[in-house]
Chain A
Amino acid sequence: MAQESNVVIDHGKSQWSDLWKKEDFLAIWLGFIIIAVCILAYTTYGPKAEFAEKIAAANQIQQAELAKAPFKTIAWHNAQDAKGKLKGSSSAFGKFASHWTKTPGSWKTNPLDSLVRSEAQAQALNEKGMAKYEEAKAKLEVALAAAVSAEGVAAGASFQDQGLNDEASAKIAEWRAAHKAAGDAKKKVENKPYNYVLSLIGLCIFIAIIFGAGIALMGKSAPAFLQGFAIVFLVAVLAYVLGGQAISKQYGFGAEAWGVLLGMVIANTVGTPKWVLPACEVEFFIKTGLVLLGAEVLFNKIVAIGTPGIFVAWVVTPVVLVCTYIFGQTVLKMPSKTLNIVISADMSVCGTSAAIATAAACRAKKEELTLSIGLSLVFTAIMMIAMPAFIKAVGIPEVLGGAWMGGTIDSTGAVAAAGAFLGQKAMYVAATIKMIQNVMIGVTAFCVAVYWVTKVEATDAGHSVGVGEIWHRFPKFVLGFIAASIIFSILDQNMGKDLGGAIVDHGIVRGGTRLLRGWFFALSFAAIGLSTNFRELAKYFKGGKPLILYVCGQSLNLVLTLAMAYLMFYVVFPEITAKI
């Protein structure tokens, strides 16, 4: 029983009261209440109608420009920029939500900088970036003047002269590059003073209340939860502070890793106080965070780079996942099937987020999740540096290199970093392939949950499992996760790319659900650390099998992804590569 308390599941027969008493359902309700509030705030009571009007006006301009010239004109790009500026998160609700869910910021030498930044510090940072910004601004003006002049000459020939059209198109491309550079430089002079202490206290109270209510409904002691929650929250905040340091971040050692490490150091040295343990509700935090993550799993994203992207991210990935799992069971004879599948998903799909979703879907133990994420962090740091260096050394083209890194490096941030290090196009391809792969976690979690209740647990139990039993055992929060994903995919699709981007992506998700999802996962990692025993963790690593599994699976991933990327981008669809 003591061992079972470690497992991500609830017990007992299915009853109607499960709907308001069981953790899985409470995670769904809590997640969906947050989702509903965000949808209402950004649509019915938000800027949706105003944005739709502005987008329609910009679309009219763009259509007129496309009818006029055989290339995208300056006015076309200006209209596109105007659409890009429309973000739900800039609304009053967006600003409110962002203010009260702030995480400690970045710092270089003084950790306190992550919590408080004075007016003088902000000004000093802005002054530091001002010279670069002024230079970028001047280059932008020159590039714009050249683009206006070239477009004017092409227009003078009624856009009938191909040479003049090409010249104008090239000048406009130069202006866009200068525009991006100026935009990046501008971000460095927009630093503002802040003090996050008050908002963190407010957030702590808010999260304590919502989860405390859930705990009370589950029949556990809410006062005991509330008493210990402040410590769990404090560890999560400290983890954000420690993970915010520039060098720590560079190696992928962020808040999640620090949360587990800090919690484990406390638990295994001074000892986690007994009154804190009732607040270490790892599963409740994770399941609620996953329901919110469902809102970010948008299925329409998988066509972002056409058929090659689907093959690289959606064909290779499941093949690697299944092969790695089978290899772990048949060759390595991994004693824990849950650890085997969590490492396989973590390595093949998208690192931490896939590990969390899979671990919860197959009811893995928290030590198994910790171990998988630890392996992923180490290999991500190595691959993020080694892969672009290797690709440059052997002269692999940028698009192929980007697709290879996007399909193999675990974490999305590390993929963007490695891609950017290789080149601009490599980053575009790598980040987009990774995004398509990210969307797979919904399917992965659902398939793993179904496979586990129908096959693995049935085999372990030694008898066939009926429909009622399958329903009883099924981790219900996965349904909430999938439902959120389907709802948001439909919502995003129906609104269209521009309005969907402004309202769903930059509103409901980035200005709402994602903010709390980040905190719920950070809390779960702090809680995992605070309730994990070093000895228990070491037991799972015995014989080094998890490491061998990861290395073998990743090797297969590297070979298959490179082969598929080459085949898709250079043999089957070279015209797509040419356009990139």
Chain B
Amino acid sequence: MTEKSLSVRLKNFTLVLGTALAFVYLFLPLLTTSCGILNRMSMYLDDNGIDPTRYYYTDVVQVKESEDYLRFALEEK
């Protein structure tokens, strides 16, 4: 495979990264503000400090809160 010149590679880098950044930081905020349900969800998550990117239960504060609630709710008294 022929090696592309540095300027072409830099151009590709800027183009691809720029597209990804534009999608996440321009398109998604625009979509969020223009769509009622997404906007409400955004504000709700912000207000309650919920982070949907966290994948394991120990990373999510709300899991402990839920566990404690159910523990006391399901206790006999």
Contact = CB atoms under 8 A, between A and B. Distances in A.
A318 interface: no
B37 A413 contact: no
A414 B52 contact: yes
Which interface residue of A70, A270, A438, A580 has the most chain B CB atoms within 10 A? A270
Interface string A377-402: 00011001100010000000000000
A15 to B, nearest CB: 35
B58 A417 contact: no
Contact of A351 (B10, B55, B67): B55
Nearest to B64: A505
Of all A-B residue pairs in the complex, the 3 with the closest CB atoms, nearest first, are: A254-B53, A413-B54, A269-B13
Contacts of B59: 412-413, 514, 518
A435 B21 CA distance: 33
Contacts of A99: none
A315 to B, nearest CB: 19
B55 A411 contact: yes
Contacts of A339: none
A431 B20 contact: no
Contacts of B46: 246
Interface stretch (A43-51, A136-144, A421-429, A537-545): A421-429
Nearest to A180: B65
Given A413-B50, A434-B63, A510-B58, A271 B9 contact: yes
A514 B16 CA distance: 33
A304 B53 contact: no
A431 B42 contact: no
Interface in A403-422: 410-414, 416-417, 419-421
A306 interface: yes
A249 interface: yes
Contact of A412 (B28, B41, B63, B65): B63
A248 B25 contact: yes
Interface of B, helix, strand, loop or mixed by DSSP: helix
A514 B64 CA distance: 15
A492 to B, nearest CB: 12
15 contacts: A72-B72, A249-B51, A252-B53, A254-B51, A257-B53, A268-B16, A269-B12, A293-B56, A301-B57, A301-B67, A412-B55, A412-B56, A417-B50, A417-B52, A431-B65
Chain A, interface size category, equals: 35 or more
A380 B55 CA distance: 11
Nearest to A111: B25
B14 to A, nearest CB: 8
Contacts of B72: 72
A109 to B, nearest CB: 10
Contacts of B56: 293, 296, 350, 353, 412, 438
Interface residues of B, number: 48
A305 B57 contact: no
A414 B60 CA distance: 10
Given A412-B56, A413-B60, A385 B41 contact: yes
Given A71-B77, A411-B52, A576-B74, A385 B60 contact: no
B41 A250 contact: yes
B21 to A, nearest CB: 8
A248 B20 contact: no
B60 A305 contact: no
A417 B45 contact: yes
A416 B70 contact: no
B38 interface: yes
Contact of B58 (A243, A268, A509): A509
Nearest to B3: A271
B15 to A, nearest CB: 8
A532 interface: no
Interface of A, helix, strand, loop or mixed by DSSP: helix
A351 B55 CA distance: 7
A255 interface: yes
Nearest to A431: B66
Contact of B44 (A411, A421, A430): A421
A265 interface: yes
A271 B12 CA distance: 11
Contacts of A84: 68
A253 interface: yes
Contacts of A70: 77
A254 B66 contact: no
Contacts of B62: 416, 419-420, 427, 431
B43 to A, nearest CB: 10
Contacts of A252: 52-53
A411 B21 CA distance: 23
Which interface residue of B24, B41, B66, B68 has the most chain A CB atoms within 10 A? B66
Interface string A242-275: 1101111111111111000110011011110000
Which interface residue of A381, A429, A432, A438 has the most chain B CB atoms within 10 A? A432
B54 A420 contact: no
Contact of A505 (B6, B17, B58): B58
A266 B60 CA distance: 31
A552 interface: no
A580 B66 CA distance: 11
A242 B49 CA distance: 18
A192 interface: no
A412 B50 CA distance: 10
Which interface residue of A247, A249, A266 has the most chain B CB atoms within 10 A? A247
A579 interface: yes
A253 B63 contact: no
Contacts of B49: 184, 187
Interface string A159-186: 0000000000000000000000000100
Contacts of A579: 73-74
